[in-house]
């Protein structure tokens, strides 16, 4: 069991702040890459830690605390994406993130993309390039790539979180990775 | 395996999720297909890049925002404490949502219990361990017959309940003509017995009554070593049947004061000898007073010994070997002075140089 969690359960007043400080970068980073919006990411990360504060007494320690927090973050981000009005409009033209009908990867429509410069070519650092490439994926695929390739979740964990079959995760991940490969071919 | 099939499986292949046969087949294809091999290479490179993506640093305001949100939810008094702690920090009484009726019932019970305790004859501390109970003719309680009537008025239907096999007293409230005999095993629980002492004589007999008990049953005055001049049958009764005082009602355990007189030449190391005796009986000892007012013969001192209750008698004997315990120093009621925990006794032993 995480020492900070034990301290939190014992009522140590500084324990929760220490937990937030220890995991804030990873949680915020996931939210920011997933939501592509700083304020949204801040709100989502705040929700993640608040939810953790409420439920930390039920944390059994089966997984690492960071994994537990990322699961919360994944759910929160997914809910936010589903709630986003603009994305909902955008996703009307896209396949639903975890629908049964189509598990392909669709990139952003040309119209939306034409409104912004191609930051992928302008990005000078690899981190920015990757973030930009990830943002080109549809939210569902981005969510899976972040969880699988960045955070190291297994197919089964992702399937459980998304409530889809493992086969769907495999195929969607494959397509998303191939898309990332194409996007990053100039630099990778 | 053609290229299309191979590429469909590349992702699983790099994750190591293909079974052995499929992996071998794909590997064989990759050895002969440069395009697919290049595709695997670039996929691996992308995955490595993603794996090594450094986390974006969180904005500095995130911690403050989270703590503020937690504080707002938990209440001002318990910021950043777990929900369980938040409950613990609420005022003590407000954590108990006892219905008013239940509280009133408890209060009523406590009042009646207290009234009975104060009205019934006082239970004096015991004089020593004994499993033999004896009672002579009904002893008049110190509060007098009026008090007994009060008790009867408070508790009219609670006529002492007799154990099975014990002959019922004659009808009416007149005391029995002669003493009755009870066996210890058949005696009822404490409250009933206590009520019985007010209304009728009880002369229990032990399972194998000796001559002393027999003489007592016949009304002879007690002659036991532990018997005091006041006829301590009640004391023995209370020793056996009186409920142990609640921990809440026990006094702060400073222990019973005992004075030990030691000779001037034995003063040195007296505390250590007491401590040694205490440890030998499984207790602990602490120095209370180092004895600031030193006399010509030596400084006084007080130590507190806390022992298991069963070791009390042996410890007192040992104390008599260390020094002289004057009759005023060891009162008759040194039996079970409450210790800090149930089952322990405490003595404050004052060492006096004589």
Q: How far apart are the first and last CA of chain A?
A: 39
Q: What confidence tens digit (pLDDT) does each residue in A74-96 have? A: 989 888 888 775 555 655 555 44
Query: Cβ contact (<8 Å) for B49 and A152?
Result: no
The sign one gets for the Cα dihedral B254, B257, B258, B264 is positive
B256: pLDDT confidence band, cut at 50, 70 and 90? confident
Q: What is the rounded CA–CA span in Å between residue B333 and residue B329?
A: 11
B89 to chain A, any CB pair closer than 8 A? The answer is: no
Secondary structure letter of residue B187 according to DSSP? -
When CB atoms are compared, the residue of A26, A42, A185 closest to B59 is: A42
Contact by Cβ (8 Å): B255, B306: yes
What residues 118-177 of chain A have any CB closer than 8 A to a CB of chain B? 126-127, 130-131, 145, 149-150, 152, 155, 170, 173-174, 177
When CB atoms are compared, the residue of B11, B46, B73 closest to A174 is: B11
Mean pLDDT value across chain B: 64
Contact by Cβ (8 Å): B206, B108: no
Count contacts between A and B (CB, < 8 Å): 124
Query: What confidence score (pLDDT) does residue B244 get?
Result: 56
Query: Cβ contact (<8 Å) for A27 and B10?
Result: no
For residue B225, pLDDT beyond 50: no
Query: What confidence score (pLDDT) does residue B276 get?
Result: 87
A187: pLDDT confidence band, cut at 50, 70 and 90? low
Least confident of A97-101, B27-31, B283-287: A97-101
Cα torsion B182, B186, B187, B189 to 10°: value is -170
Query: What confidence score (pLDDT) does residue B255 get?
Result: 59
For residue B190, pLDDT beyond 70: no
Query: What confidence score (pLDDT) does residue B297 get?
Result: 52
A30: pLDDT confidence band, cut at 50, 70 and 90? very high
Q: What is the rounded CA–CA span in Å between residue B255 and residue B284?
A: 13
Q: In 3D, which of B217, B185, B212, B188 has the Cα closest to residue B201?
A: B217
Query: Which structure tokens are listed for B221?
Result: 């005055």
In this structure, the strands spanning B284-289 and B202-205 are: unpaired
Chain A partners of B61 at a C-beta cutoff of 8 Å?
42
Cβ neighbours around B338 below 10 Å, total: 22
Distance from the Cα of A65 to chain B's closest Cα (Å) equals 16
Using DSSP, state whether B63 is helix, strand or coil: helix
Chain A partners of B85 at a C-beta cutoff of 8 Å?
11
Chain B partners of A13 at a C-beta cutoff of 8 Å?
79-81
Query: Cβ contact (<8 Å) for B63 and A181?
Result: no
For residue B260, pLDDT beyond 80: yes
B43 to chain A, any CB pair closer than 8 A? The answer is: yes
Q: Give the whole-number percent of chain B exceeding pLDDT 90.
A: 2
Query: Cβ contact (<8 Å) for A170 and B12?
Result: yes
Query: Cβ contact (<8 Å) for A42 and B42?
Result: no
Q: What is the rounded CA–CA span in Å between residue B142 and residue A37?
A: 87
Backbone torsions φ then ψ of B261, nearest 5 degrees: -90, 130
Q: What is the rounded CA–CA span in Å between residue A11 and residue B318?
A: 47
Residues in CB range of A17: below 8 A, 6 or more apart: B63, B67, B80
For residue B55, pLDDT beyond 70: yes
Query: Cβ contact (<8 Å) for B65 and A46?
Result: yes
Cβ neighbours around B249 below 10 Å, total: 8
A34 to chain B, any CB pair closer than 8 A? The answer is: no
Query: What confidence score (pLDDT) does residue B183 get?
Result: 52
Query: What confidence score (pLDDT) does residue A51 get?
Result: 92
Residues in CB range of B124: below 8 A, 6 or more apart: B234, B235, B238, B333
Q: What is the rounded CA–CA span in Å between residue B305 and residue B197?
A: 37
The whole-number average pLDDT for the span A10-39 is 89
Give the DSSP letter string of A92-143.
TSSPPTT-SS-----PPPHHHHHTS--HHHH--SHHHHHHHHHHHS-HHHHH
């Amino acid at each position: 069991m995480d020492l900070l969690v034990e301290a939190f359960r014992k009522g140590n007043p500084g324990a929760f702040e220490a937990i937030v400080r220890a995991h804030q970068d990873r949680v915020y980073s996931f939210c920011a890459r997933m939501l592509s919006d700083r304020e949204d990411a801040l709100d989502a990360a705040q929700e993640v830690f608040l939810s953790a504060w409420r439920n930390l007494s039920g944390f059994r320690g089966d997984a690492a605390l960071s994994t537990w927090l990322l699961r919360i973050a994944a759910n929160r981000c997914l809910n936010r994406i589903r709630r986003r009005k603009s994305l909902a409009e955008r996703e009307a033209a896209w396949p639903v993130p975890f629908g049964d009908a189509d598990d392909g990867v669709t990139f952003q429509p040309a119209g939306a993309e034409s409104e912004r410069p191609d930051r992928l070519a302008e990005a000078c650092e690899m981190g920015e390039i990757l973030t930009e490439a990830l943002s080109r994926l549809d939210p569902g695929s981005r969510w899976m790539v972040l969880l699988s390739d960045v955070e190291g979740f297994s197919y089964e964990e992702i399937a459980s979180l998304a409530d889809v079959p493992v086969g769907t995760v495999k195929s969607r991940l494959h397509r998303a990775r191939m898309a990332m490969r194409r996007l990053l071919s100039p630099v990778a | 395996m053609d290229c299309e099939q191979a590429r469909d499986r590349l992702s699983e292949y790099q994750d190591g999720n293909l079974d052995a046969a499929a992996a071998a087949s794909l590997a064989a294809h990759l050895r002969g297909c440069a395009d697919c091999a290049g595709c695997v290479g670039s996929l691996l490179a992308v995955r490595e890049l993603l794996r090594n993506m450094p986390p974006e640093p969180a904005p500095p305001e995130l911690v403050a925002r989270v703590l503020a949100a937690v504080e707002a939810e938990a209440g001002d008094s318990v910021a950043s404490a777990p929900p369980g702690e938040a409950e613990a920090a609420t005022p003590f009484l407000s954590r108990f949502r006892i219905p008013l009726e239940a509280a009133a019932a408890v209060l009523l019970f406590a009042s009646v219990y207290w009234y009975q305790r104060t009205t019934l004859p006082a239970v004096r501390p015991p004089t020593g361990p004994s499993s033999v109970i004896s009672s002579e003719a009904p002893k008049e309680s110190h509060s007098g017959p009026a008090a007994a009537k009060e008790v009867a008025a408070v508790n009219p239907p609670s006529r002492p309940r007799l154990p099975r096999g014990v002959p019922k007293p004659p009808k009416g409230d007149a005391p029995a003509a002669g003493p009755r005999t009870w066996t210890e095993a058949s005696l009822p629980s404490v409250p009933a017995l206590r009520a019985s002492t007010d209304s009728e004589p009880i002369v229990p007999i032990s399972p194998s009554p000796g001559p002393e008990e027999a003489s007592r049953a016949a009304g002879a005055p007690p002659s036991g070593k532990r018997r005091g001049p006041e006829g301590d049958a009640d004391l023995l009764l209370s020793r056996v049947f009186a409920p142990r005082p609640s921990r809440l009602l026990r006094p702060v355990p400073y222990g019973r004061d005992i004075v030990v007189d030691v000779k001037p030449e034995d003063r040195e190391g007296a505390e250590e000898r007491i401590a040694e005796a205490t440890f030998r009986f499984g207790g602990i000892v602490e120095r209370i007073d180092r004895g600031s007012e030193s006399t010509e013969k030596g400084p006084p001192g007080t130590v507190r010994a806390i022992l298991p209750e069963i070791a009390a008698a042996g410890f007192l004997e040992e104390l008599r070997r260390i020094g002289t315990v004057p009759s005023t120093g060891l009162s008759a009621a040194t039996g079970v002075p409450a210790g800090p925990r149930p089952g322990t006794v405490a003595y404050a032993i004052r060492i006096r140089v004589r």
